[in-house]
Amino acid sequence: MGKLNVNLCGIELDNPIIPASGTFGFGYEFAELYDINCLGTFSFKGTTRQPRFGNPTPRIAECTAGMINAVGLQNPGVEQVIAEELPKLQKVFHKPVMANVSGFCVSDYAETCAMLDNQPQVGWLEVNVSCPNVHGGGMSFGVDPDAAAEVVRAVKAVTSKPVIVKLSPNVTDIVAIAKACEDAGADGISLINTLLGMRIDLRTRKPVIANKMGGFSGPAVFPVAVRMVYQVAHAVNIPVVGMGGVSSAEDVIEMMLAGATAVEIGTMNLIDPFACKKIIDDLPRVMEQYNISSLSDIIKGVG
């Protein structure tokens, strides 16, 4: 059997499969279905400094080969995550977990990351810079290299654990933003977050979701994700976590050939809660089919 293990920012993973934030809750919900310790790790639900109720409903819309969501970072806030969610997770998951952090100003990010940095089970901090900057005219941190770098510097100043910056694809030059994050001290980059999409109800002639627009994800975005992972992985010298429309073991191999050290699975978890387990179980077969003896050897396998 081929070697599935990879090293992500100095932490060894049994395999590169990581359920993406927002699609796997805090893990223990899925632990009722199967032993989630088969995962490389997972990125838990996006956490903010204060609790958030999220956006008004309806906030999910189906579409061809994907979905649109505008959940709005609904979460109980970092204090409750530390007090209640992580202790429940610790009972069922015995590996380092990835903490996904969102914020609406630089101090939000820094304070939340500092608190999570103190939690022994947190292995990495995945900093989502695709959120509106409420003190910057509504612009997302992730569309401005300088703003993204400012977040990275603030987080790195208060944390000791690897910081992986999650980037938005809704930009003209994702490489410039990735390089700015690397220069500011990021230990890794994850991409892509959702594209911006919209659906309109023909009967009501109104947007399907209350927020009008939302994040478009699913198999339809996979080629865009592969392209951006390739561009970023060949421009930076830090690990890249690839995601965006991954739905099979073959997709995982393709994403790693493009340059991903590890691969996050998102929308497929909402379609099939066993998706990640099935992909892990199928990886040895696909590796044998394509004469791959070690996954770590194929990273950036396309020049």
Residue 150: pLDDT band (50, 70, 90) is very high
* CA 127 – CA 165 distance, rounded (Å): 5
Where are the domains positioned within the chain? 6-297
* CA 290 – CA 250 distance, rounded (Å): 10
CA distances from 201 to 3, 63, 153, 207, 249 (A): 48, 12, 43, 6, 35
> Is 105 an active-site residue?
no
- E strands, the chain, are 6-8, 11-13, 17-19, 60-63, 66-69, 97-101, 122-128, 163-166, 188-191, 195-197, 200-201, 206-207, 214-217, 240-242, 262-265
Q: Is the pLDDT of residue 295 over 90?
A: yes
Beta bridge partners of 3: 294
Compute the average pLDDT of residues 149-172.
Answer: 97
Residue 186: count other Cβ atoms within 10 Å of its Cβ. Answer: 27
Mean pLDDT over each residue of the chain, to the nearest integer: 95
Q: Is the pLDDT of residue 291 over 80?
A: yes
For the ranges 136-150, 156-170, 176-190, 234-248, the lowest mean pLDDT is seen at 136-150
Do strands 195-197 and 214-217 pair parallel, antiparallel, or not at all (unpaired)? antiparallel
Cis, peptide link before residue 292, omega less than 30° from 0: no
Q: Is the pLDDT of residue 132 over 70?
A: no
Amino acid, res. 290: Y
Task: List pLDDT tens digits, range 1-58.
Answer: 789 999 999 999 999 999 999 999 999 999 999 999 999 999 999 999 999 998 889 9
The CATH code that applies to domain 6-297 is: 3.20.20.70
In order, the DSSP letters of 93-121 are --S-EEEEE--SSHHHHHHHHHHHHT-TT
Active site residue: 113, 131, 181, 276, which one?
A: 131
* CA 272 – CA 288 distance, rounded (Å): 25
